[in-house]
Structure 1
């Protein structure tokens, strides 16, 4: 069997299993086992456990469950609600202040979790009922949360950036810095579209009947500022070379837990059973996907599929921007079916030599890849954020959620174009703080 035919068979088998609703980790693993069985026969059983374990046996990956735990602590306690309410109190007089509060809360919450589903669920539970209650169109309410939730994999600390850094042997600190300005840019673009979309659908902004005094605005800050200071402190020790990402993540999770316990007087063990259980489930899911993706990548390599694909791409004598367009198209399609972590583990090591040979900066490419993965989170058939919103807003029809979310995919495509035209948006801050990268 030729590598091309083997690749087609494995990909078709993977798509069929995903179409049945099988969990992504199991589908990737079974497709990999089938491919390896064709190549190695029954002896494949001896390499499965070792390959999967080796794929996640990296100290850098300790940061992932720590960041997930940090987000679960905020989302599972009153801290998340206070963060949202504080933004609402300060922005309530701004036209469209509530939709801006939701997207802004998503951006800040992203800095605590590094996870899009966690951000989408935490802010959506509070923001969607509030927006619907104030008369916002359902598509605006759900679409803004779905898109805002995607910021979790771009704004540091980002789980996908950690996976990309370890998979490609690039600096995680520089990757985090590379995501800062694009994250702010994308947040502003989301806000601009949300306001325009609401006006376009007939919603008229006004000051509203709510009014918050300066005392009410200021009294919300003491509970929120410690969490924001933890984020800033964590980023400082990362970029200052004081600690590794794993150490910073562990310290951040511990400090967040201490702050929540002391500020909210949450001394009941029952509260933390749910928090740690939620963090454990999401962490295990991510690690299972990564281990299965590593096995899938090993299968593709054993069958010489990745080598043949890399050689075919390298042999294409085309303009480098056309090459980048083809890569983005591949990532866009893959992102519609697979989670970001799986795609990065499988594709990043393959694509990195190709894009660097074409003269592209690997850190710039990491941001472009991440935004592409964000698009996959809000597009069918496997848009993870869409499923999250379906669960937390069952009264909103699925077509309304899609109608509100899909325009944000176009906004993200526009952001990719802007980064192609102005790559300095990505590279300026890392070069300023850490010096020019050696590629």
Structure 2
């Protein structure tokens, strides 16, 4: 069978299997085994266990459970509420300070936890009622938190970036640095829209809030500065050549657990057990998907599907930006239905040779891909963050949350356009810190 036709058959079969309700990892294994048996014979099954476990034989993978423990220990405490309150106290006299403090808290908490749903829940429980109480439109209150929560997969340390680095054999350190400026750009765009929307509503009084004494401002800082210090320390250790990403993640996880125990009195064995249990579940899920995606990639390569698609794309007489636009549409559609980790692991083996052949930087493309995944987190039909917000504010309709999120989707599209016009937004910092890549 023609490899391109076979590739289309694999894509259709994968979509059908995944929509049947099977887990992503099991779905990939079922499709891989089925096509390998049909086109390569039963002997191909002998290689599947070796490929499955061989994909996990990577020292860099240790950073994933460590960063997840780091985020879980933070999410299990009042760190999100304290972070939100600290920013509110310091930014209360800034025009639009409340919505800025919410977005800032989302950005920082997302960077610490690496989890979009956890960020939405932690900051939303405090921020949404407070914004609504002061008269902010429901769309702005809900949409800003839903969009702010997505920043966790872009701002370092990001588990999604680690997965992309492993899938494409790209430097994780460079990927982390590449997400810094685009992440700050998105925060700025989100804040700009929120302020404009609030001003347009005609409620000028919303742009300022109450006042806090200097004592009230400083007394909250000891609770949040250690966590921010850990993030800075993790990044310094990684880029200062002190430790590898995996070693840095392990130290960061230990420090976060210690701080959670000392500052937030997380001494009870039952509470610590919940942190470790949830971290283990999420880590196993991600690692299982990585292993299954390795088998899926082997199947695509063994049947010459990946090579044929890359060769076919190379023969197309189209502008490379038209090609990139097509890739973005594909990523958007995939992100509407699948979690970011699954999309990266399934698409990276196919897309990487295509974008490198077209002359695009794989580090830059990682940021483009990640922003597309962020859009999927606040877009139906899956839109996980939308349902999290609806769960913590059930009296705000899903339609209102969705309409409030759409302007932030537009902000992400603008960010993608800016990155296409100015690729240095993603590549300058990695090159400046770690030297040009060749």
TM-score of the superposition, structure 2-length normalised? 0.93
Q: Does 1:120 align with 2:120?
A: yes
Contact 1:114-1:153 at 8 Å conserved across structures: yes
Comparing 125-134 and 180-189, the one that deviates more: 125-134
Q: Work out whether residues 106 and 145 of structure 1, in 8 Å CA contact, stay in contact via their aligned partners in 2.
A: yes
- Note closer, same or farther for the CA distance 1:23–1:399 as it changes in structure 2 (3 Å cut): farther
Q: How do residues 119-268 of structure 1 correspond to structure 2 at under 5 angstroms?
A: 119-201=119-201, 203-206=203-206, 210-268=210-268
Aligned mates of 1:264, 1:256 — CA distance in 2: 11
**1:115-154 Cα distance to aligned partner (Å, 9 max, x none):** 3233233222332233333332222222111111111111
CA offset at residue 203 of structure 1? 4.6
Structure 1 residues 401 and 209, CA, compared in 2 at 3 Å: closer, same or farther?
closer
Query: How far apart are 1:190 and its partner, in Å?
Result: 0.8
Contact 2:36–2:45 under 8 Å retained in 1: no
Tell me which residue corresponds to 1:336: 336
Q: Residue 291 of structure 2 corresponds to which residue in structure 1? A: 291
Q: Distance in 1 between matches of 2:330 and 2:207?
A: 45
CA deviation vs aligned residue, 1:237-287 (integer Å, no higher than 9, x gap): 101111111111110010111122122333222221222222222222222
Distance in 1 (alpha carbons) for counterparts of 2:33 and 2:390? 33
Alignment CA distance shift 1:392-1:292 (3 Å)? farther
CA–CA distance in structure 1, aligned partners of residues 24 and 390 of structure 2? 19
In structure 2, the residue corresponding to 1:318 is in which secondary structure? coil
Rounded to whole Å, the distance in 1 between the matches of 2:232 and 2:300 is 41
Alpha-carbon shift at residue 209 of structure 1 (Å): 6.3
Q: Which moved more, 1:269-278 or 1:388-397?
A: 388-397
CA contact (8 A) 1:84 1:102 kept: yes
Structure 1 segment 318-397 matched on structure 2, within 5 A: 318-397=318-397
CA–CA distance in 2 between the matches of 1:235 and 1:207? 34
> How far apart, in 1, do the equivalents of 2:17 and 2:201 lie?
39
Judged with a 3 Å threshold, the aligned counterparts in structure 2 of structure 1 residues 405 and 49 are, in CA distance, closer, same or farther, namely farther
Identify the residue that residue 34 of structure 2 maps to in structure 1.
34
Q: Which residue does the alignment assign to 1:59?
A: 59
CA spacing shift, 1:174–1:209, aligned 2, 3 Å: closer
Q: CA deviation at 1:43?
A: 4.2
Q: Is the 8 A contact 1:153 1:160 kept in 2?
A: yes
Work out the CA distance in 2 between the residues paired with 1:201 and 1:49: 59
- Over residues 83-140 of structure 1, what are the superposed CA-to-partner deviations in whole Å (9 max), with x where a residue is unaligned? 1111111122223222211111111112212332332332223322333333322222
- Residue 81 (structure 1) aligns with: 81
**Match in the other structure for 1:310:** 310
Q: Which runs of 5+ in 1 are unaligned?
A: none
Kindly state the Cα deviation for residue 204 of structure 1 after the two structures are TM-superposed.
4.1
Q: CA 1:132–1:275 in 2, change beyond 3 Å: closer, same or farther?
A: farther
CA distance in 1, matches of 2:58, 2:76: 28
Q: State the Cα distance separating 1:53 from its structure 2 match.
A: 2.2
CA distance in 2, matches of 1:25, 1:133: 43
Deviation at 1:197, TM superposition (A): 2.6
Secondary structure of residue in 2 paired with 1:206? helix
Equivalent residue number for residue 71 of structure 2: 71
Q: 1:261 to 1:373 in 2, by over 3 A?
A: same
Who is 2:95 aligned against?
Answer: 95
Gaps of 5+ in 2: none
- What RMSD, in angstroms, separates the aligned Cα atoms of the two structures? 2.1
